[in-house]
Amino acid sequence: MKKNISLILILAASISGLLWSCSKTTPLVNIAVSSNPTGSAFIKIVHFSPAFRLATSNSDSLNIFLNGSKLNGSFLTFGSLFPSTTNLYAAIPAGAATIKLSTAGVLTPDSIAVVSLSKTVEAGKYYSLIITDSILNSSSSKQIFTQDNFVLSDTNTFTMRFVHAILNDSAGKNVDIYSTRRAGNMFSNISPGTVTDFNAQPYNFITDTIIVRRTGSNFELARFTTAANPLARQRAYTLIYKGTPSVTTAPKGRALATFANQ
């Protein structure tokens, strides 16, 4: 059995190398959900920068390059993520990593570099780059680049963290995240740019409505219902407050969204 598994892994690696050698712009195919290839780190990239064009003077339809090799297939646009919702993370080599965001030119997909980020990633660790309007800031916490420290939760819970990704809201910046099911706050007094830890949340089949409020008040900014966006037990999620603070309509108005980490 072990010999068969080794043979399969060798063949998969050979096929992957052959596919990559065919074209410089072919997306990487080594995608991971929970597997841990030796020497690999794992990354997720999410585009939640409503004013990307204004901040960078470039199109907000992006290509992603890692150490000179193209990662994505189709463009990454506002509200989209790489990899897909099925494959939660992309496996990348551990160590020094240069992540370049580019807009496509006429002849090549990486001819107009927007920003280049130098990071160090560790084998077996998971990371998210959440692109905000502060992507050009030199601080990882403003960009937002973070390690995803989720753990397997109990059968009656799921874990969730909160990201406050509206960095340019001038009126009452801090927010509370209120759960109608619990009749209390899940997260309190969260400032812009903050990424909380993953916390265990009770799971049941009662539909919940989650509301963003100005800290210490009932003033509602956005809401999210689990009826339309069901959450599952023993999973890990990111809840993100994102968009343009002065706008309430799609696609870039202020809103709550989730994506899965586990």
> Chain centroid to CA 94: how far?
19
166 vs 172 pLDDT, higher one: 166
**CA–CA distance, 121 with 224 (Å, rounded to integer):** 33
Number of C-beta neighbours around residue 63 at 10 A: 25
46, pLDDT greater than 80: yes
Closest CA to 170 of 214, 211, 104: 214
- Residue 92 near residue 99 (C-beta atoms within 8 A): no
- First CA to last CA across the chain, in angstroms? 28
Sorting pLDDT into bands at 50, 70 and 90, what band is 148?
very high
Mean confidence (pLDDT) of the chain: 83
Question: Which residue reads 């692109």 in tokens?
Answer: 131
138 vs 2 pLDDT, higher one: 138
Q: What average pLDDT score do residues 26-32 get?
A: 37
> For position 77, what pLDDT does the model report?
92
- Assigned token pair, 132: 């905000």
pLDDT, tens digit, for every residue of 94-114? 999 999 999 877 677 666 888
User: How do 157-164 and 199-202 pair as beta strands?
Assistant: antiparallel
Q: What phi and psi, each to the nearest 5 degrees, are found at residue 141? A: -70, -25
Q: What average pLDDT score do residues 39-68 get?
A: 91
Of 2.60.40, 3.40.50, 1.10.3470, 3.10.260, the CATH number of 25-148 is 2.60.40
Sorting pLDDT into bands at 50, 70 and 90, what band is 81?
very high
Q: What average pLDDT score do residues 3-24 get?
A: 36
Question: Exposed (0-12), middle (13-18) or buried (19+): which is 202, by Cβ within 10 Å?
Answer: middle
CB burial string 100-132: b at 16+ within 10 A, e below: bbbbbeeeebbeeebbebebebeeeebbbbbbb
Yes or no: is domain 150-262 CATH 2.60.40? Answer: yes
**CA–CA distance, 40 with 217 (Å, rounded to integer):** 45
Closest CA to 44 of 92, 86, 82, 72: 82
74, pLDDT greater than 70: yes
**Coil vs helix vs strand at 100:** strand
25-148 and 150-262 have identical folds: yes
Domain ranges of the chain: 25-148, 150-262
Whole-number percent of the chain with pLDDT over 90: 56
217, pLDDT greater than 60: yes
Sorting pLDDT into bands at 50, 70 and 90, what band is 17?
very low
**CA–CA distance, 109 with 58 (Å, rounded to integer):** 14
